Amino acid sequence: MNDWPIKPSITRNPDLSEDEILEKEKGFFENYNEETLEIKVLEHFDKDYTKYAQKWHNLFQAQHLGFYTRITDWSQDFNSAMFFAIDDESKAYIDSNGVIYLYECPYHGDQLINFQREEDYKFFDQNPFDLDKAYMVKHHSQFPDDFENYAGEIRRFRQDGSFIISTSKEINEPIENIPYINHYLTKIFISPSIKGEISNYLDEGFKEFIYFASTENNTEEVERIRRITMESNNKVYWDK
């Protein structure tokens, strides 16, 4: 929406050192089920065979529910990318340029974890909090029968979302400054007038589509999840 560095949300409190960020992240995920206040998480895989699969899925769910994590959202859907580039409920940046980054991530190589490829299941045996480099992550496409009961899953599906996961070592490093990612990035500025045209182009119901929270009373559920995540993020990452 504005020309900010691309950094994961857990780094938003500038008063926290890197060690404090990682300590708070660890505490949050150790209590993840409690923090979500009964918002369910998925258990797709046999933990004995893919021992960190649940941690990966908890991380994906937490991100799309709005909790602060070490991953940043990316989309393969241009409408979703345009929406997040201009979404500004407070109108605080209405006269500022927006930004869209294009990431031409090599499909084959060592920068992509694609959980739709069986050969990449090996990463389910690696702790997502202990990787040696940042990766673009494509999710597994298997959904449960009660798919629409999982707000994080349906949001990810509708946004055609992928993630870049930062390492503990580079947690505070803007993604656009990481050398092995930087040369695949193209930065596009969006002028205020173009932002207005994009807003007119996107359907009135697009925001509802993007933030759908898997319930008949969707507005109330979206606000409930927002409140839960805001309270949790403040408690974990801002209260010292």
Question: Taking the chain (240 residues) in consecutive chunks of 10 residues, what is each chunk's mean pLDDT?
Answer: 84 94 93 65 66 87 91 93 88 88 85 88 92 89 63 81 94 95 94 92 88 84 88 87
- Say if 81 falls within a structural domain: yes
Q: What is the pLDDT of residue 47?
A: 64
DSSP class of residue 211 equals T
- Say if 3 falls within a structural domain: no
- Say if 98 falls within a structural domain: yes
- Say if 4 falls within a structural domain: no
- As for how many domains the chain has, the answer is 1
- Say if 2 falls within a structural domain: no
Return the structure tokens found at 56: 């990966």
Q: What is the pLDDT of residue 30?
A: 87
Place of tokens 């949790």: 232
- Say if 140 falls within a structural domain: yes
Q: What is the pLDDT of residue 169?
A: 96
| 3-class SS of residue 48 | coil
pTM value is 0.89
- HEC profile of 149-162: HCHHHHHHHHHCEE
Nearest residue to 58 (alpha-carbon basis) of 84, 17, 26: 26
- Say if 1 falls within a structural domain: no
- Axis-axis angle for helices 53-65, 18-30 (nearest 10): 100
Residue range of the domain that includes 121: 9-238
Q: What is the pLDDT of residue 7?
A: 95
Q: What is the pLDDT of residue 170?
A: 95
